Structure 1
Amino acid sequence: MILGNSEIKRLIEDKKLIEEHEEKNIQGAGVDFRARTFYRPSGDTKVHKESRTLPEISEISGDTVSIKPNELILVETIEKVNMPSDIAARILPRSTLCRCGVYLLTAFVDPGFSGRLTVGLKNMSNHSFELEKGARIMQVMFEKTEGDTVDYDGRYQGGKVV
């Protein structure tokens, strides 16, 4: 069951579901999240059964970033989530990104996760795309889970970028 506006607001108040949000960004059935920090990944990577090599990242300075055609950057959100054990979340792109030819690469937000969210942005168009810090880039939809859950205890707990 996707949570509506009133339940999201209640969880923000009672459980600090989202920190550093703007009230106007709480939509009917989700919350718009904004860009805080930009990173450029580089280097060879791998994901094997027993090991992984993640990219090196460098923070992109300035209030805006220009993403070239076919370029990928990582974006950390202003908002921080504190997921209760019975709530999970899905991340969707704002339709404006789609209209600009920019693809949002996301993952599932597990119950028990706490921290800022990091997503990938890939410019799929033939033109540069400029993004400013504070711009709304995605909508997060919260869902009630049924049955027993296990709180997230992975490497990105606390909002680590890599």
Structure 2
Amino acid sequence: MILSDRDIKILLKSGELIINPLSDDTVRENGLDLKLGNEYCAFKKTDTVLDPNNPKDPKEFYECNSSNSFIIEPHRHYLLHTLEYVKLPSYLAGLVNLRSTWARTGIYIPSTVTDAGFEGQLTIEVIGSEFPVKLYSGDRFLHLILVKMETPSEKPYDGSYKGQTGVKLPKFFNKK
């Protein structure tokens, strides 16, 4: 079942769902509009092989910065994060979508699911359009649809991305 704005407001008021900061324009008809944070990592074009079992320095693969605005270049891949810190209970999962305004610019994000029990700022991949698009930190960018599961998860998310803030690179870079 997809939660309505009424359901979401009840969960926020009870503290079962946490969105911080929570703005007046966050809760929408059937989900949450989340804003862009100020960190981003651009994927670098390289012939270096990324071996998850023996990862090299992430700087060989990503160029990371923070700024109040940045440009998504055509066909380039980026990692961005949400301004909001999200904490889902064990019976809710989230489906992350691009707001339609941004999809109409040709920007694309792959399917992303936020697991039941996840907490942290969301890191998402963004793929550039046919033309450069300027983004600003604080812009409403994503729409998170909350789905109530029939029963709570037996094992809510407790992985290495739990509690993340800012852009988080793949966990195998932390193995060193």
In structure 2, stretches of 5+ residues that fail to align are 170-176
Aligned to 1:66: 71
Normalised to the residue count of structure 2, the TM-score between the two structures is 0.80
Question: 2 CA distance for matches of 1:33 and 1:52?
Answer: 35
Residue 41 (structure 2) pairs with residue 39 (structure 1): yes
Deviations 1:97-152 (A, max 9, x none): 21111002342111111111011111131x11110100111100111111351210
In structure 1, stretches of 5+ residues that fail to align are none
Question: 2 CA distance for matches of 1:53 and 1:46?
Answer: 5
Paired-residue identity, %: 27
Question: 1 CA distance for matches of 2:109 and 2:132?
Answer: 16
Question: 2 CA distance for matches of 1:147 and 1:99?
Answer: 36
Aligned residues: 158
Superposition pairs of residues 105-144 of structure 1, within 5 angstroms: 105-125=110-130, 127-144=131-148
Aligned residue type for 1:26: V
Question: 2 CA distance for matches of 1:62 and 1:5?
Answer: 32
The worse-fitting range, judged by mean Cα deviation, of 70-79 and 60-69 is 60-69
The 1:152–1:58 alpha-carbon spacing in structure 2 relative to 1, beyond 3 Å, is same
Higher strand share: 1
The CA deviation at 1:58 is 4.2
RMSD: 2.1
Question: Is the CA contact 2:97–2:112 (under 8 Å) kept in the aligned structure 1?
Answer: no
Question: Is the CA contact 1:31–1:139 (under 8 Å) kept in the aligned structure 2?
Answer: yes
Question: 2 CA distance for matches of 1:9 and 1:53?
Answer: 43
